[in-house]
Amino acid sequence: MAEITTQTQGATRLIRYANPPRHYMTAEGTGLMLAAVQAAVADPAIRVLVLTGTEDVFVRHYDVSEIVAVGEAVRAGQLTPKDFERGGFADMIRAVFESPKPVIAAINGVCMGGGFELALACDLRIAGDQVPLIGLPETRIGIFPGGGGTQRLPRMIGEARALEFILRGQTVDAEGALALGLVNAVAADAVGEALIIAAELSARGAEGLAHAKRLVRGALTWGLVDGTREEQHGFYAVLKSESAMAAMRDFLATGEDIAR
């Protein structure tokens, strides 16, 4: 049975997924994760989300038996392509990706298939240095990454590398993931490192971070003219926020250099 546990540390919400013994993602687990993410996003006291797993698994992968059941429903004409655009795993991934608050994946263990697609939807990824398997092995069983993997991975590591990685169903360890650019950092304690970064981000203006995240996300889909216009409008909006003005006034009062 899938289970979500949450812990609040300061302005950070740590969301931990478990589904022993294999720690697959399931429809039940997807719903629980979606609810936990939505609750954290809606809580004004929470500034950063950290997602992680339990034991030595982040999320092993999506439960293949459930995918087979969905396939049978498709073949029976009970589902249409529209049914795949909303609901279930797609909604959960979208909630993580579109969260205005930073989301960090603390990859504490095995992270493949739908589990890695969940990590790819996060803003930052920190892998534990003992993690043995990170990847998208779906083509090994006749399918392909269907939770955003084919779209997010090329934007992250380039088309050529992403094609090889996905077509061959490759997996790598933590250091291999770092070398490919799949994760931002490798640490002895992925959760501990993620919480340090989360505390750093929590001390910064929420409006500024939200606009920065939205604009960077859109940079690869907007044209340059539209993107810079969005940036200018966003800069205007953030200057209207009290947190941004207060942070700049505090900085000026210190007389320090911003690079320090």
- Which active-site residues does the annotation give? 117, 138
Report the alpha-carbon distance of residue 132 to residue 210 in Å, rounded: 33
Q: How many CB atoms lie within 10 A of CB 259?
A: 4
Q: Which residue from 62, 57, 63 is spatially nearest to 127, judged by alpha carbons? A: 57
Report the alpha-carbon distance of residue 39 to residue 175 in Å, rounded: 33
β-strands 171-172, 134-135: how paired? Answer: antiparallel
Classify each residue of 143-153 as buried b or exposed e, where b means 16 or more C-beta atoms within 10 Å of its C-beta: eebbbbbbebb
